[in-house]
């Protein structure tokens, strides 16, 4: 357009109009979704909560704005609150309103992404404990496991209801109809499914294709649900790998899915909605394989999982959560609230071997990966290290690591390329894509030592992974001959692999960043290359094969439902037990040794500590007969919040306490150690200082008179006494208290000191790990 022909007065008017519009845009505050948390829901006013929430919301909006138009969702069952689209000014105004505990921007969490049960129930059970065959599947038939996850694939055999009786009458949930999902997709096994529509969340309709359905399009939720409670399926495998019987930990339990996640994450407002609905629906326990990053650690009152779990547990629902995948970095554990059962990940005795066969003497280098290589099994392919294939503009170090853009196509095409790899590099997926684009026929990753035990899945592309030490043999061979050749063999399954279990390198570690006086994680369970049900997908399907109904996946996400399955069985056998008694049974009966009866180790070979595994590796059958339990009440949790630093008025809102609860005047972080937890953590102990910790145990074993005796395993320089060291239980005295007295005797003993206290009556062994962090 020729602006020289436009009258100047019109140009001036247009300029003024643009200026007004731009100024209006700058002055108009950006709105985003906030969560407004208001504590426990009054039991007698659920029908009025929505109206009261709308009134509160309307009080901070501009005149003429309707609260209904900004409200995203309303919470009224397990707790009170709402999510709404607000400006920061409106959110700040709400924070000052009476009855509001917290207001925070809606966070987006991520999922913490069969032989495992056979391994747990056979390899680790000692002779004095009950055999797994003594656990009748009918015992769990009325237990309901809820999962907050990516949804579910209802057609999976894992969720067939063959042989199941009527749905428990206490179930109040629904099977939400949606896109490609209707009420007939639920049955007497999969008894409920809910989803949380995109138009009520901070995403556009194009952000996820399964926005209006509980159908799983990621696979994660189907995998975790089948691990926790899937039916027993013979002939299961991942394209022939890990073949055998796939089954959940509590095959007789019912499943309810709450789809709170998609490919773009898990909004906190949807997580809270899942918790809120699950409480009203009547689940017995919740498995939550998702959480915040270790680098984002919100306060308990601003963490959707901590909030939802608190109120679920207050209703008697056990909540099991993954510890996170940010290990092996210290203090990376998440979901560390004391009302959550927090699960770390370990390996099982199965290994996926993909060897590299070198030319010359045809020596084989043992590698690991999941691939269905179609390369010749004879070493006929040229092999080169990344550093030798560098482009003219790249340095040797970057090229050796096969960083994108550092390699010369003419040197790579048609060859197998050896790439060194560490955690600080670009991801293997990015490197693989780059090498594929350059025409490489295969890849060998030379990994850091700590990655030894996780077999990544590459499907049809020939890839194997070896540790740096083994890579020296490959590099030496390449240098020793003018025309080095090799091949990558397809994966085979190796069982009875040792040592096992081993702490997964990715599993998040303690100590808790929120309080050093509470030991987290709580327990460890299998989470590496777990075979479980999956969604049909055309991605990576080997030639001539149909999409697999199963997948091999790793993460604390996979460990979490293992423990949920155990908890469901305990709940079925002991329906009156609290979530804390169930947690105690799981923790105090855990094992600290591997299949060879040697101490558990990390992937790097160092001894595993309670910061790695909590109480140890879960033993399902032993947890059914714990002998003693460390129980808690909601009031104990309120005292924890006092010691954590919350004031009485905030706690009263959180708990809806009407009895005039107030925090003791001596509340302090040090008293968190007195929480009646199955493990003990003490921080800041000085030389010659005496610290006393209180505990109460309840006899749930023999009702006859029985005596438990305490034994202590303590490190050098730390004196630990149990007072009294004998506890005599009877029908009249089922709960007894004791004290643990810690004294630092040796100043040379510094840092984190680990030990344990074990009670035994000759039949039951009740072990509690402890950690004492000395003063700097």
Q: Write down the pTM of the prediction.
A: 0.92
Per-residue confidence (pLDDT) for residue 19, from 0 to 100: 43
Do 451 and 520 lie in a common domain?
no
Residue 225, exposed/middle/buried by CB under 10 A (0-12, 13-18, 19+)? Answer: buried
The answer, yes or no, to whether residue 20 has pLDDT greater than 60, is no
| Buried-exposed string 515-545: b where 16+ CB fall within 10 A, e elsewhere | bbbbbbbbbbbbbbbbbbbbbeeeebbbeee
Do 692 and 566 lie in a common domain?
no
Percent of the chain with pLDDT over 90: 78
Residue 721, exposed/middle/buried by CB under 10 A (0-12, 13-18, 19+)? Answer: middle
Query: Cα separation of 178 and 195, whole Å?
Result: 8
How many domains does the chain contain in total? Answer: 4
Per-residue confidence (pLDDT) for residue 140, from 0 to 100: 55
Percent of the chain with pLDDT over 70: 89
Are 399 and 390 spatial neighbours (Cβ–Cβ below 8 Å)? Answer: yes
The answer, yes or no, to whether residue 15 has pLDDT greater than 60, is no
Do 398 and 485 lie in a common domain?
yes
Q: Three-class SS of residue 171?
A: coil
Do 130 and 161 lie in a common domain?
yes
Q: Residue 697: name the closest of 654, 661, 740 by CA.
A: 740
The answer, yes or no, to whether residue 655 has pLDDT greater than 50, is yes
Catalytic residue among 557, 584, 655, 679: 557
704 is known as an active-site residue: no
**Assigned domain for 663 exists:** no
Catalytic residue among 220, 223, 562, 764: 220
**Assigned domain for 65 exists:** yes
- Residue partners of 429: CB distance under 8 A and separation at least 6: none
Do 612 and 526 lie in a common domain?
yes
Are 479 and 388 spatial neighbours (Cβ–Cβ below 8 Å)? Answer: no
Residue 57: CATH number of its domain:
3.30.70.80
220 is known as an active-site residue: yes
Are 272 and 546 spatial neighbours (Cβ–Cβ below 8 Å)? Answer: no
**Assigned domain for 565 exists:** yes
Cα 503 from chain centroid (whole Å): 14
Are 115 and 496 spatial neighbours (Cβ–Cβ below 8 Å)? Answer: no
Residue with the bigger pLDDT between 78 and 303: it is 303
Residue 340: CATH number of its domain:
3.40.50.200
Residue at which a domain ends, from 106, 137, 157: 106
Please report which confidence band the pLDDT of residue 44 belongs to, taking 50, 70 and 90 as the band edges.
Answer: low
In this structure, of 236-250, 256-270, 744-758, the range with the lowest mean pLDDT score is 744-758
Cα 82 from chain centroid (whole Å): 26
Per-residue confidence (pLDDT) for residue 658, from 0 to 100: 61
Calculate mean pLDDT across residues 86-101: 96
**Assigned domain for 475 exists:** yes
Query: In which element (H, E) is residue 419 found?
Result: strand 416-420
Tell me which residue range forms the domain holding 333.
110-349+501-624
Query: Cα separation of 633 and 413, whole Å?
Result: 65
**Assigned domain for 572 exists:** yes
Residue with the bigger pLDDT between 454 and 68: it is 68
| DSSP states of 19-37 | HHHHHHHHHS---EEEEEE
421 is known as an active-site residue: no
Residues β-bridged to residue 341: 320
Which pLDDT tens digit goes with each residue over 562-620? 999 999 999 999 999 999 999 999 999 999 999 999 999 998 899 999 999 999 999 99
Do 194 and 81 lie in a common domain?
no
- Residue partners of 476: CB distance under 8 A and separation at least 6: none
In this structure, is the dihedral angle defined by the CA atoms of residues 524, 566, 579 and 703, taken in order, positive or negative? Answer: negative
Q: Residue 601: name the closest of 590, 613, 589 by CA.
A: 613
Do 212 and 267 lie in a common domain?
yes
**Assigned domain for 95 exists:** yes
Per-residue confidence (pLDDT) for residue 201, from 0 to 100: 40
- Residue partners of 539: CB distance under 8 A and separation at least 6: 459
Per-residue confidence (pLDDT) for residue 205, from 0 to 100: 35
Do 61 and 185 lie in a common domain?
no
Do 151 and 99 lie in a common domain?
no
Please report which confidence band the pLDDT of residue 660 belongs to, taking 50, 70 and 90 as the band edges.
Answer: confident
Per-residue confidence (pLDDT) for residue 162, from 0 to 100: 95
Query: Cα separation of 631 and 644, whole Å?
Result: 20
Q: What are phi and psi of 681, to 5 degrees?
A: -135, 130
Query: Cα separation of 685 and 690, whole Å?
Result: 8
Do 246 and 338 lie in a common domain?
yes
Residue at which a domain ends, from 72, 106, 140: 106
**Assigned domain for 167 exists:** yes
The 8-class DSSP code of residue 483 comes to S
In this structure, is the dihedral angle defined by the CA atoms of residues 484, 490, 495 and 498, taken in order, positive or negative? Answer: positive
Query: Cα separation of 594 and 590, whole Å?
Result: 12
Which pLDDT tens digit goes with each residue over 676-734? 999 999 999 999 999 999 999 999 998 789 999 999 999 999 999 999 999 999 998 99
Which pLDDT tens digit goes with each residue over 518-566? 999 999 999 999 999 999 987 778 888 899 999 999 999 999 999 999 9
| DSSP states of 146-189 | EEEES-B-TTSGGG--TT--PPPTT----B--BTTB-GGG--SS
Calculate mean pLDDT across residues 334-344: 98
**Assigned domain for 652 exists:** no
**Pairing mode of beta strands 32-37, 370-371:** unpaired
Query: Cα separation of 720 and 714, whole Å?
Result: 7
Residue at which a domain ends, from 495, 522, 557: 495
Calculate mean pLDDT across residues 411-424: 92
What number of other Cβ atoms are within 10 A of residue 471's Cβ?
Answer: 23
Residue with the bigger pLDDT between 571 and 114: it is 571
Which pLDDT tens digit goes with each residue over 455-497? 788 888 999 999 878 889 999 999 999 999 999 999 999 999 8
End-to-end CA distance of the chain: 74
Which pLDDT tens digit goes with each residue over 735-752? 999 999 999 987 677 899
Residue 415: CATH number of its domain:
3.50.30.30
What number of other Cβ atoms are within 10 A of residue 230's Cβ?
Answer: 31
The answer, yes or no, to whether residue 421 has pLDDT greater than 50, is yes
Catalytic residue among 53, 106, 142, 149: 149
Per-residue confidence (pLDDT) for residue 138, from 0 to 100: 47
Per-residue confidence (pLDDT) for residue 451, from 0 to 100: 58
In this structure, is the dihedral angle defined by the CA atoms of residues 196, 201, 203 and 205, taken in order, positive or negative? Answer: positive
Calculate mean pLDDT across residues 359-368: 87
Calculate mean pLDDT across residues 157-171: 96
Do 117 and 86 lie in a common domain?
no
Calculate mean pLDDT across residues 80-100: 96
- Residue partners of 716: CB distance under 8 A and separation at least 6: 746, 749
Residue with the bigger pLDDT between 749 and 13: it is 749
Calculate mean pLDDT across residues 55-83: 94
The answer, yes or no, to whether residue 449 has pLDDT greater than 90, is no
Do 345 and 426 lie in a common domain?
no
């Amino acid at each position: 357009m020729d602006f020289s022909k436009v009258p100047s007065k019109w140009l001036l008017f247009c300029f003024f109009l643009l200026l007004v519009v731009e100024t209006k845009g700058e002055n108009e505050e950006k709105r985003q979704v906030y969560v407004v948390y208001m504590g426990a829901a009054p039991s007698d006013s659920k029908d009025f909560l929505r109206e009261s929430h709308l009134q509160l919301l309307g009080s901070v909006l501009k005149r003429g704005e309707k609260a209904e138009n900004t409200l995203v969702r309303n919470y009224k069952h397990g707790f009170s609150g709402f999510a709404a689209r607000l400006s920061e000014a409106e959110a700040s105004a709400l924070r000052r309103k009476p009855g509001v505990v917290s207001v925070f921007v809606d966070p987006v969490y991520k999922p913490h992404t069969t032989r495992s049960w056979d391994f747990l129930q056979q390899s680790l059970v000692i002779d004095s404990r009950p055999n797994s065959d003594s656990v009748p599947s009918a015992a769990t038939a009325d237990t309901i496991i809820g999962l907050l996850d990516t949804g579910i694939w209802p057609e999976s055999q894992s969720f067939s209801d063959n042989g199941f009786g009527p749905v428990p009458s206490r179930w109040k949930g629904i099977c939400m109809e949606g896109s490609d999902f209707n009420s007939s997709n639920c049955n007497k096994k999969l008894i409920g499914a809910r989803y949380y529509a995109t138009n009520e969340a901070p995403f556009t309709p194009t952000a996820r294709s399964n926005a209006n359905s509980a159908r799983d399009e990621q696979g994660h939720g189907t995998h975790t649900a089948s691990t926790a409670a899937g039916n027993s399926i013979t002939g299961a495998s991942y394209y022939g790998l890990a073949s055998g019987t796939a089954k959940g930990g509590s095959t007789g339990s019912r499943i309810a899915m709450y789809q709170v996640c998609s490919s773009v994450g898990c909004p906190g407002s949807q997580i809270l909605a899942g918790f809120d609905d699950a409480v009203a629906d009547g689940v017995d326990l919740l498995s939550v394989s998702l959480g915040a990053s270790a680098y984002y650690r919100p306060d308990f009152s601003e963490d959707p999982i901590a909030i939802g779990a608190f109120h679920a547990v207050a209703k008697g629902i056990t909540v099991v959560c993954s510890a996170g995948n940010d290990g092996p970095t210290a203090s990376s554990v998440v979901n560390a609230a004391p009302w959550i059962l927090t699960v770390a990940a370990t390996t099982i005795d199965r290994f996926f071997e993909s060897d590299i066969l070198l030319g010359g003497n045809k020596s084989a280098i043992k590698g690991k990966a999941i691939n269905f290589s179609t390369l010749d099994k004879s070493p006929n392919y040229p092999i080169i290290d990344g550093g030798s294939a560098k482009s003219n503009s790249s340095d040797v170090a970057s090229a050796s690591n096969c960083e994108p853009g550092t390699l010369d196509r003419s040197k790579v095409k048609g060859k197998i390329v050896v790439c060194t790899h560490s955690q600080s590099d670009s991801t293997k997926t990015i490197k693989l894509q780059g090498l594929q684009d350059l025409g490489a026929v295969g890849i060998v990753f030379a990994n850091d030592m700590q990655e030894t035990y996780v077999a990544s899945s590459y499907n049809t592309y020939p890839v194997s992974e070896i540790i740096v030490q083994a890579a020296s043999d490959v590099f030496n061979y390449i240098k020793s001959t003018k025309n080095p050749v090799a091949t990558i063999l397809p994966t085979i399954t190796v069982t009875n692999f040792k040592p096992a279990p081993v702490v997964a390198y990715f599993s998040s570690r303690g100590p808790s960043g929120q309080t050093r006086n509470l030991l987290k994680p709580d327990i460890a369970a299998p989470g590496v290359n777990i075979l479980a049900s999956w969604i049909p997908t055309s991605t990576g399907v080997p030639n001539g094969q149909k999409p697999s109904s199963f997948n091999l996946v790793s993460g604390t996400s996979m460990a979490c439902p293992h423990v949920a399955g155990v908890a469901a069985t305990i709940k079925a056998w002991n329906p009156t037990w609290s979530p804390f008694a169930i947690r105690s049974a799981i923790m105090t009966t855990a094992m600290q040794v591997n299949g060879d009866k040697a101490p558990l180790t990390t992937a790097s070979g160092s001894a595993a500590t309670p910061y790695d595994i909590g109480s140890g590796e879960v033993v399902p059958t032993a947890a059914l007969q714990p002998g003693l339990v460390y129980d808690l009440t909601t009031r104990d949790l309120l005292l924890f919040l006092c010691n954590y630093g919350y004031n009485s008025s905030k706690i009263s809102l959180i708990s809806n306490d009407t009895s005039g609860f107030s925090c003791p005047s001596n509340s302090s972080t040090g008293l968190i150690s007195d929480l009646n937890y199955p493990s003990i953590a003490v921080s800041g102990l000085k030389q010659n200082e005496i610290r006393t910790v209180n505990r109460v145990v309840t006899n749930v074993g023999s009702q006859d008179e029985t005596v438990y005796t305490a034994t202590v395993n303590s490190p050098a320089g730390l004196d630990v006494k149990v007072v009294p060291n004998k506890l005599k239980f009877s029908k009249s005295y089922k709960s007894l208290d004791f004290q643990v007295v810690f004294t630092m005797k040796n100043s040379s003993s510094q840092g984190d000191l680990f030990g344990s206290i074990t009670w035994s009556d000759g039949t039951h062994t009740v072990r509690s790990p402890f950690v004492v962090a000395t003063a700097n």
